[in-house]
Amino acid sequence: MTIALSIDQLSVALPADADRPYALKQVSLHLNRNEILCVVGESGSGKSMTAGAIMGLLPDRVRAESGRIEFEGRNLLELNDAELRRIRGAKIGMIFQEPMTALNPLITIGDQIGEMFRTHSKLSRRETAERVQALLRDVHIPDPLAAARAYPHELSGGQRQRAMIAMALALEPAILIADEPTTALDVTTQAQILKLIRELQERKGTAVLFITHDFGVVAEIADRVAVMQHGVVVEQGEADTILNRPQHAYTRALISAVPPLTPPPIRQVAEESILAIRQVNKIYRKGGLLGRNKRVTHAVRDVTLDLPKGGTLGIVGESGSGKSTLARCVVRLLDPNSGHIEFDNVDLASLGRRELREHARHVQMVFQDPYGSLNPRRRVGELVAQGPIVHGTPCQQALAEARELFELVGLDPDATRRYPHEFSGGQRQRICLARALALKPRVLVADEPVSALDVSVQAQVLELLARLRQQLGLSLLFITHDLRVAAQICDHIAVMKNGSVVEHGTAAQVFGSPGHEYTRSLLDAVPGRHWTPPSFAGDIERIAA
Amino acid sequence: MEFLHRYKRNPAAVFGLVLLLAILVLAATAGLLYPQNPLGLAGRPLQWPLSNPDFLFGTDHVGRDIGAQIFHGARVSLFIGLIATVIAIIIGIVVGALSGYYGGLLDDMLMRVTEAFQILPSFLLLLVLVAVFGSELQTVIVAIGVVSWPAAARLTRAEFLSLRNREFVQAGRTLGLGDFSLIFREILPNALPPVIVYASVIMAVAILLESALAFLNLSDPNVPSWGNLIGGGRGVLRVQWYVSAIPGIAILLTVLAVSLVGQGLNDALNPRLKNR
């Protein structure tokens, strides 16, 4: 095997006011021809910075301080802008996480791909158009002729990412850098894109540097793996070795934190249901003066579900399946158009505003984004205490209870006087939990509570949720797109598609013998489903500490 | 602390703050340096500045001490600017917050009212208000506040529109918080920074509006405002130009100081914009 690109002792310095002096510290990597090298790490590990350094696209005030990046016998760090421009796109292609923002919204897909040829070659108009068509066919876009004329917003997320890949591969670069290319996509689309990248890579012999945080994706696509932590490569080697016999403690901890796809043994859950969702519908109507261009979206269609007392009902589905809308209907952030939501012999769906506020305390919600769901201008203790205060608890007592809740969710009680920005993502999600628990709810609706967290933090928060469920006798309505997470925490699982529940059963049933075709396709699309992460007890605690 | 540090890095903002402090010192020492009524006759009219050691800034066309009027005028101008700004910001925030938070019909109605205020040139509207309600100081201040709020309302509304569906507001709603606390305790503190910065613009404009009124002899003649002094000097503008020029410079420096402080606040509140 020949080396396509080698990084030798690369250090990248951060500006003086950053939280650490180096983004990358003496990173040495090499990328062979015709292979996929996965760079894995959690947020802040420096994996994207590595890609930026190769392309000469580091953020302002960040610079490569020492080391070499060797490509075709030249050190990329020493090239000037004009020389780098000739390499970017032509010899090193790149695809990004969010194709919607990486594509220019005002230019058609065909023109954007054609721009690659106009910039780097002297092809005629007709030849360019033909090449664009060939590329769009290569990436299996349905109806390539129409796609070339479409603007980015007219394509789906997966098609946009296909167009991005077509663009990156237009000039048959020797190297393709893919920075989390599937993170923003649904799981079935992700599986297709991963397959496409693999197929094109094999056909053209491209060297792919694939950056990801997801070990499932690594298991799916990598030939070799490099694991990064705090700007240092802690371990690299063949995919099989790293995935199944990792040596470094950090790699072991990361891999142990990946939830296996098989549900744990069945817990005993009461037959009795605490929350009954009956025939709930939510319809969005859009625009249309005098009925023109009127769009009606059935976000939730006749959903009937039961949440068993003390149990966890998982609602899984892809984006647009209506799972979050359903959750918001349950806590009445949205008003369902029809149907009943029965809790304690009260129909939550039909309550007026005043009664709703009284009943709100029994059904609480935890949100996805731990950064956006805490008011940045108030102390976290006040945030936790404000619910009880509204419901009539004296201020002093509520603040004292907030301290106890902090202890319950594993935070320092003295931290109640601090502001949200002083906490990490995992800690903030614990604060959100404490805030929801302050009202002593009996049902907790969790909308993707761990999706924004790194995998090791995710494991801790899931553990906390499982513990609280036991300790407080909570019933959980758990919304997630991640089947691995769902397998770990849910007793029952409902699969949603286009607003309807297509399958509903115990976790073991749904994962073991899925009845509906859509469930099977979801399960088939889970990255790394054939790989069972080995477990290394003890390592997680060490990393957490 | 961090805020102060960021503010200090901007030399123009620091200069503005020093200037503003100097004007505050003028206002504070007016009673000590010029204990007599600044509108009382002091000496021979139209003495040039520096020609008589008793009147360093000279005297105006009726023989009042210009220096006394400048010092006491600082009080009046800052007072007018401050109170009119507070009135405008309060109206603007209430209208913008209700409009942005509730949306729908209320939003439509409030925004039409706002636009009705915006399409009239504010000075014209001010003239009408003063002509109808008289020109005592209080009336003038309230009138300036009433013509200055529409931009603040639109700004607040825009902030509310982007903030009202954030998860922390939804979280507050699930906790059972009422609309009042959602608006004023959850959203408003987050919407405030750009409005505060804009307040400096309103304050500068308020001082100018009062001067313009006074220049047309439509402001309260019984207070020693800078505008009145300029208006008084109008008749002798070609020869004894200093009567109008000295208060004019005072107004210029005050407006400059307020604007620079506002700009500095803006940069300090949005540190990321500054680093580019």
Using an 8 Å Cβ cutoff, are A46 and A40 in contact?
no
Mean pLDDT for chain A overall: 87
The CA distance from B81 to A244, in Å, is: 72
Contact yes or no for A432/A367 (Cβ under 8 A): yes
pLDDT score recorded for residue A289? 58
What is chain B's length?
A: 276
ipTM: 0.78
What is the average per-residue pLDDT within A446-472?
88
Pairing, β A475-480 against β A492-497: unpaired
* Collapsed DSSP state (helix, strand, coil) of residue A173: coil
Contacts of A213 (CB under 8 A, 6+ apart): A40, A41, A42, A43, A47, A180, A183, A454, A455
Nearest to A367 among B171, B175, B186 (CB): B171
Closest CA to A98 of A192, A207, A178, A196: A178
pLDDT at residue number A139: 87
CB-CB neighbors (< 8 A) of B186 in chain A: 375
User: What would the pLDDT profile of A107-166 be if each residue is shown by its tens digit?
Assistant: 999 999 998 888 888 888 899 999 999 999 888 888 889 989 999 888 888 888 889 988
For residue B88, what pLDDT is reported? 95
Is residue A347 predicted with pLDDT exceeding 90? no
Chain A residues within an 8 Å CB radius of B184:
none
**pLDDT exceeds cutoff 80 at A292:** no
Task: Report the pLDDT value the prediction gives residue A291, as an integer from 0 to 100.
Answer: 57
User: CB-based contacts of B178: which residues, under 8 Å, 6+ apart?
Assistant: A357, A390
Q: Could you tell me the pLDDT band of residue A438, with boundaries at 50, 70 and 90?
A: very high
pLDDT of residue B276: 40
Determine phi and psi for A235, rounding to 5 degrees: -160, 140
pLDDT digits (tens, 9 = 90+) for A152-205: 888 888 888 889 988 888 888 999 999 988 888 888 888 988 999 998 899 888
User: How many other C-beta atoms can be found within 10 angstroms of the C-beta atom of residue A10?
Assistant: 24
pLDDT beneath 50: ranges in chain B? 274-276
pTM for this entry:
0.82
CB contact under 8 A, B168 and A333: no
What is the per-residue pLDDT for B156?
A: 95
- Let me know: does B151 contact B194? Beta carbons within 8 Å: no
On the question of pLDDT at A270 being above 80, the answer is no
Q: Which is higher by pLDDT, B30 or A505?
A: A505
Nearest-angstrom CA–CA distance, B13 and B33: 29
Cβ-nearest to A386 among B175, B190, B276: B175
**Does B176 contact A373 at a Cβ distance shorter than 8 Å?**
no
Asked if residue A227 has pLDDT above 90, the reply is: yes
Nearest chain A residue to B173 by CA: give it.
Answer: A333
Distance from CA of B167 to the nearest CA of A (A): 4
Span A512-542, pLDDT tens digits: 889 899 999 999 989 888 888 887 755 545 5
Between residues 95 and 154 of chain A, which touch chain B (CB distance below 8 Å)?
Answer: none
Interface contacts A/B by beta carbons within 8 Å: 65
pLDDT for residue A293: 64
Q: How far apart are CA B241 and CA B226, in angstroms?
A: 15
Q: Determine contact: A205 vs chain B, CB below 8 A.
A: no
SS3 string of A175-242? EEEEECCCCCCCHHHHHHHHHHHHHHHHHHCCEEEEEECCHHHHHHHCCEEEEEECCEEEEEEEHHHH
Q: Is the pLDDT of residue A412 over 70?
A: yes
Which tokens go with A148? 């070339």
Per-residue pLDDT, B1: 61
Residue A315 has pLDDT above 90, yes or no: yes
